[in-house]
Amino acid sequence: MTNRKFYKTIIQVEVLSEQPFEYNTLDDIARAINDDCSGQTTTLSSEELDGKQAAEALMEQASDPAFFRLTEEGEDSRG
């Protein structure tokens, strides 16, 4: 397994708006908070992950371990 460390941080976003708040992406949330709404973030947790845990977390997010140059087993990829 890789010797690199990774971090998983869970952030809560609170938004106050005049209309029901609907969003599709993090960019939409940021734009709304900057332009039309009031918002704040709170860090709920942060934990260190090893390579295997990071690979699993990426797959849970429908991402790919290759994002961090990892294999599905948490090893450094060769390319």
Question: Three-state DSSP class for 68?
Answer: helix
Other C-beta atoms closer than 10 Å to the C-beta of 18 total 7
Q: Is the pTM of this model over 0.85?
A: no
Other C-beta atoms closer than 10 Å to the C-beta of 50 total 14
Burial class of residue 65 in the structure, from the number of CB atoms within 10 Å of its CB (0-12 exposed, 13-18 middle, 19+ buried): buried
Per-residue model confidence as pLDDT tens digits over 38-78: 999 999 999 999 999 999 999 999 999 999 999 999 999 97
Other C-beta atoms closer than 10 Å to the C-beta of 35 total 7
Query: What are the sequence ranges of the domains in the chain?
Result: 6-68
Helix, strand, coil shares, percent, the chain, to 5:
30, 30, 40
User: Would you place residue 79 in the very low, low, confident or very high pLDDT band (cuts 50, 70, 90)?
Assistant: low
